Amino acid sequence: MNLIMGVSPGSQPVRFIVNVDGKPPGEAHGTDVDDQGNGTAGRQRTYQLVREQTRITDREFEIHFAGPEVEAFCFTFG
């Protein structure tokens, strides 16, 4: 799962945490998130948050931002 996001120009990067089904993503973490779900949003770009390693099923995804300066534009799946 990818998300196009970032902070407003001139703003400091903002930390975020991703959970899948209420838990850190573990081995399913994307390239912009560690196995505990920690990441940082800086410049506006596409961030890979989750990369499923097994069969894809319905899951609950959560993202929590540590600050208000993040702008999110588009989720992509698949």
**Tens digits of per-residue pLDDT, 48-76?**
999 987 777 888 999 999 998 899 999 88
Predicted confidence (pLDDT) at residue 24 exceeds the cutoff of 90: yes
Read off the pLDDT band of 77 (50, 70, 90): confident
Predicted confidence (pLDDT) at residue 78 exceeds the cutoff of 70: no
**Rounded to an integer, what distance in angstroms lies between the CA atom of residue 69 and that of residue 22?**
24
The token duo for 25 is 């993503």
pTM of the model: 0.89
Rounded mean pLDDT of the chain?
92
**Rounded to an integer, what distance in angstroms lies between the CA atom of residue 50 and that of residue 6?**
17
Query: Which one, of 77, 65, 20, 59, lies nearest residue 39 by Cα?
Result: 65
